[in-house]
Amino acid sequence: MNHSDEIHISSTAEEYKKLGGTASSRRSFLALLLSAGAASVGALLSVPLLRFLLHPLVKAKTQASWKEIGSVEDLASVTSPVKKLVKVEQRDGWRKIVSEKAVYVCRDANGHLCTLSSVCPHLGCSIAWHDDKNKFICPCHNGQFTAEGKLLGGPPPRGMDRLESKVEDGKLVVHYQTFKQLVPNKEVIA
């Protein structure tokens, strides 16, 4: 570097100072601009993470859906439990699963229609109605239940789970739920 270059650099710096700026203020502005850009990019990248963490708090609760079993006229002649299938929607993350679950329609002690879950409260096997024996029998561990779902014998800790049902517009509808197994009291899990 020769003497004329030094004079040119120093004169440029002096002119810049005369205009009211300093080299450090230019660096500060660029640093501020760079940090603002980095903060913006960081905020944009954190949005998916925040949505994932806060999803259980902000997601809408699914309303209790009532599923149609059949018309009351068709079920009026029920004297022993009748197996019916109900379509149930389940969400697992982004997947929507539609499956058919078996329920039994029977009459309670007062003669009203009631609905029983076919899932054994012992270990979750499918309970079947046996007309010849006039009782429900679980094929896994020989749990036995009356036509109203009361426990007769075997390892299940309680009787069959009764599902909430009602009559709407001449149709019997049921609110299908899943209950905890191996506990003496009915506890809803799904």
CATH of the domain at 117: 2.102.10.10
Neighbours of 171 (CB within 10 A): 16
Q: Which residue has the higher pLDDT, 162 or 89?
A: 162
Of the residues 11, 35, 58, which one is the last residue of a structural domain? 58
DSSP H or E segment with residue 2: none
pLDDT above 90 covers a percentage of the chain that reads: 50
Compute the mean pLDDT over every residue in the chain, rounded to the nearest whole number. 84
Of the residues 58, 89, 105, which one is the last residue of a structural domain? 58
Angstrom CA distances, 62 to 65, 99, 166, stand at 8, 17, 20
Strands (E), the chain: 67-71, 82-92, 95-107, 113-117, 128-130, 135-137, 144-145, 151-153, 162-168, 171-175
Reported confidence tier of residue 98, pLDDT bands at 50, 70, 90: confident
Q: Is the pLDDT of residue 90 over 80?
A: no
Q: Are residues 46 and 110 in the same domain?
A: no
Q: Is the pLDDT of residue 84 over 90?
A: yes
Cα separation, 99 vs 94, whole angstroms: 16
Report how many domains make up the chain: 2
**CA geometry: angle 169, 174, 178, nearest 5 deg:** 165
Residue 115 falls inside a structural domain: yes
Q: By mean pLDDT, which of 5-9, 63-67, 82-86, 125-129 is the weakest?
A: 5-9
Q: Are residues 122 and 154 in the same domain?
A: yes
Reported confidence tier of residue 96, pLDDT bands at 50, 70, 90: confident
Question: How much is the average pLDDT of 146-161?
Answer: 93
